[in-house]
Amino acid sequence: MATIRARCPHCGDVRLRTHQVTVRVCADDDQGSYWFRCPICKTAVAHDARPEIVELLVEAGVRRHVWNRPAELSEVRTGPPITSDDVLDFHLLLQSDEWLEHVSEMVRRPPA
């Protein structure tokens, strides 16, 4: 099993086995990264990785995880942005016993 040298921001260079590293590749844009948990301080560490680094790590036996961006990122947004006051109002609404009725009415009502 190959040994991989990586850098922890707290501990510096650390040596890892392939099962301690995970490569992540976004299927939408082929951007890659790898992450590991530092064997010394246990911090989760993630680094961006160029395609040749991704290929090298995978060939060495590192697990490859392919993921997609959430579909919501491509949805068209309408209406004003949500403010911190909106979030607080919603929080207060959820504290009431009639919160479900209020939310149902908000969904049925056409936007202003």
What pLDDT digit, counting tens, does each position of 54-85 carry?
999 999 999 999 999 999 888 888 889 999 99
* 112 confidence band (pLDDT: 50, 70, 90): low
Q: Is residue 75, in this structure, part of any structural domain at all?
A: no
88-102 pLDDT, tens digit each: 999 999 999 998 998
Average pLDDT over residues 19-39: 96
Q: Is residue 93 part of a domain?
A: yes
| Distance between CA atoms of residues 23 and 30, nearest Å | 12
| Amino acid identity for residue 98 in this structure | E
The pLDDT assigned to 39 comes to 96
Looking at the domain assignment, is residue 17 inside a domain? yes
Alpha-carbon distances, residue 10 vs 15, 22, 42, 55 (angstroms): 14, 20, 10, 27
Residue 59 belongs to some domain of the structure: yes
What's the domain range around 45?
3-69
The radius of gyration of the chain's CA atoms, rounded to the nearest angstrom, is 22
Domain presence at residue 38:
yes
Name the residue among 29, 32, 87, 80 with its Cα closest to residue 56: 32
Q: How far apart are CA 69 and CA 29, in angstroms?
A: 9
Look at residue 45 and tell me if it is in a domain.
yes
Q: Are residues 61 and 91 in the same domain?
A: no
**Residue 7 reports pLDDT greater than 90:** yes
